[in-house]
């Protein structure tokens, strides 16, 4: 969204709190159809606490991990798009009277100053028109996005230190919605879907109603929250708790106690989701109902997560596959990226589709 240049080819670079993911796509446009094929893909874990609550604490560690990722994945393209989320990113859906583009731009500045809880001068602001009015007297639905400049500088610095070119900065949930539209075109247009990206520190929630984004929320809940609670409750090391969360039982961990703690943490997550869903469904003077849930991110891979969502909400829930409609050479790449690890690449894939934009 915060475009810095327009390039034909770039690498989608998802810098998470736990790891860095990269995807480079080859994009072919034929008539009105767009085809995608994976050219390069890579994954590298980050040192613990290199990024805390969405803020880069150790820029050197992050930049070195990015360089290692590009080297190991043999990515030669230096142009990258990244995404950000968290408290420093504000997303507001607003309605404005129909007006010409110049007046709209001026009105956006006024709206930003009154809707953003930070000084306007300390933020970068962008917007997108969600829905044009049906009549000249109707309102225009606008998605207003603002990000603190120090947050952008925090990430830009790490990219610069890694000797890569920052082409664009997106918001995590928007990138995920891009990947959703590419891979599930029929569901995207015909259903109301909640797409949920459960990362290490932050869970991004987006609700898309028949192709139109309606609600966005970032929750301060993620894998580290689960791991820390397991560590405290079971009195084990962070590494043991993390391994248990990944399904690797440790000798110091009681299976029944672990299951109880995990169930409690999933319940807390589901309670926050329920608040978000209820806010959406009560938001307008008409019946609105979420028809499907797609889960993305590392936390989505833990046992019982899908069944817990279905039991709680009685809504069809499945893992999000960002490669569902994207080709890849099975002989060239390790299949683990496209099978077991696929849900963690949603944001990176969404970022890499930006090259098709004009």
Query: Could you give the CA distance from residue 206 to residue 288 in angstroms, rounded to a whole number?
Result: 15
Q: Most distant CA pair in the chain: distance in Å?
A: 68
Encode burial over 174-211: b for 16+ CB neighbours within 10 A, e otherwise. bbbbbbbbbbbeebbeebbbbbbbbbbbbbbbbbbbee
Query: Could you give the CA distance from residue 243 to residue 223 in angstroms, rounded to a whole number?
Result: 12
**Is the pLDDT confidence value at 308 over 90?**
yes
Query: Could you give the CA distance from residue 207 to residue 216 in angstroms, rounded to a whole number?
Result: 7
Helix ranges (DSSP H) in 136-248: 149-161, 172-183, 185-190, 223-234, 238-245
pLDDT at 356: 39
The conformation of residue 143, written as its DSSP 8-state character, comes to E
Whole-model pTM: value is 0.91
In percent, the amount of the chain with pLDDT more than 70 equals: 94
**Is the pLDDT confidence value at 5 over 50?**
no
Query: Could you give the CA distance from residue 192 to residue 179 in angstroms, rounded to a whole number?
Result: 16
Whether 46 and 61 have beta carbons less than 8 Å apart is answered as: yes
pLDDT at 164: 97
Tens-place pLDDT, residues 20-57: 999 999 988 877 788 999 999 999 999 988 998 889 99
Confidence of residue 288 (pLDDT cuts 50, 70, 90): confident
**Is the pLDDT confidence value at 314 over 80?**
yes
Place of tokens 């109301």: 192
Query: Could you give the CA distance from residue 262 to residue 139 in angstroms, rounded to a whole number?
Result: 46
pLDDT at 7: 43
What would the 3-class secondary structure string for 145-158 be? EEEEHHHHHHHHHH
**Tokens at residue 244, please?**
């248990």
Query: Could you give the CA distance from residue 36 to residue 181 in angstroms, rounded to a whole number?
Result: 13
The conformation of residue 332, written as its DSSP 8-state character, comes to T
DSSP bridge pairs for 94: 142
Question: What values do phi and psi take at 314, rounded to 5?
Answer: 55, 40
The sheet carrying 2-3 orders its strands as 2-3, 165-171, 79-84, 11-15, 19-30, 33-45
The bridge status of strand 203-209 relative to strand 192-198 is antiparallel
Q: For the chain, list the domains and their CATH numbers.
A: 1-89+149-183+324-358 (3.30.420.40), 185-320 (3.30.420.40)
Q: Which of 197, 196, 193 is nearest to 209 (CA)?
A: 193
pLDDT at 51: 93
Query: Could you give the CA distance from residue 111 to residue 95 in angstroms, rounded to a whole number?
Result: 10
Query: Could you give the CA distance from residue 262 to residue 228 in angstroms, rounded to a whole number?
Result: 11
Q: Which of 7, 5, 3, 4 is nearest to 27 (CA)?
A: 7
Work out whether the CA dihedral 289, 181, 23, 339 comes out positive or negative: positive
């Amino acid at each position: 969204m915060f475009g810095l240049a327009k390039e034909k080819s770039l690498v989608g670079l998802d810098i998470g709190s736990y790891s860095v993911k990269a995807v480079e796509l080859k994009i072919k446009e034929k008539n009105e159809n767009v085809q995608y094929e994976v050219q390069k893909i890579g994954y590298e874990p980050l040192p613990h606490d290199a990024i805390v609550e969405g803020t880069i604490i150790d820029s050197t560690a992050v930049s070195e991990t990015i360089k290692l990722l590009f080297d190991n994945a043999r990515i030669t393209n230096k142009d990258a798009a990244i995404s950000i989320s968290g408290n420093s990113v504000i997303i507001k859906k607003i309605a404005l009277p129909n007006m010409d583009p110049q007046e709209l731009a001026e009105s956006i500045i006024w709206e930003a100053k009154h809707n953003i809880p930070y000084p306007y001068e300390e933020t970068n602001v962008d917007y997108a028109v969600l829905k044009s009015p049906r009549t000249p007297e109707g309102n225009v639905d606008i998605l207003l996005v603002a990000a603190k400049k120090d947050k952008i500088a925090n990430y830009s610095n790490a990219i610069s230190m890694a000797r890569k070119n920052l082409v664009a900065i997106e918001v995590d949930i928007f990138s995920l919605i891009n990947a959703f539209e590419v891979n599930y075109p029929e569901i995207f247009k015909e259903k109301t879907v909640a797409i949920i990206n459960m990362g290490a520190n932050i869970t991004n929630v987006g609700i898309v109603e028949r192709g139109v984004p309606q609600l966005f929320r970032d929750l301060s809940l993620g894998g580290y929250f689960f791991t820390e609670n397991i560590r405290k409750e079971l009195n084990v090391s962070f590494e043991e708790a993390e391994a248990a969360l990944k399904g690797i039982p440790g000798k110091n961990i009681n299976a029944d106690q672990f299951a109880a703690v995990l169930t409690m943490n999933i319940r807390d997550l589901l309670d926050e989701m329920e608040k978000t869903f209820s806010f959406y469904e009560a938001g307008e003077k008409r019946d609105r109902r979420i028809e499907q849930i797609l889960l993305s991110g590392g936390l989505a891979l833990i046992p019982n997560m899908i069944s817990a969502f279905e039991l709680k909400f009685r809504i069809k829930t499945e893992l999000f596959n960002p490669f569902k409609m994207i080709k890849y050479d099975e002989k060239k790449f390790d299949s683990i990226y496209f099978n077991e690890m696929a849900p963690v690449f949603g944001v990176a894939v969404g970022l890499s589709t930006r090259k098709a934009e004009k």
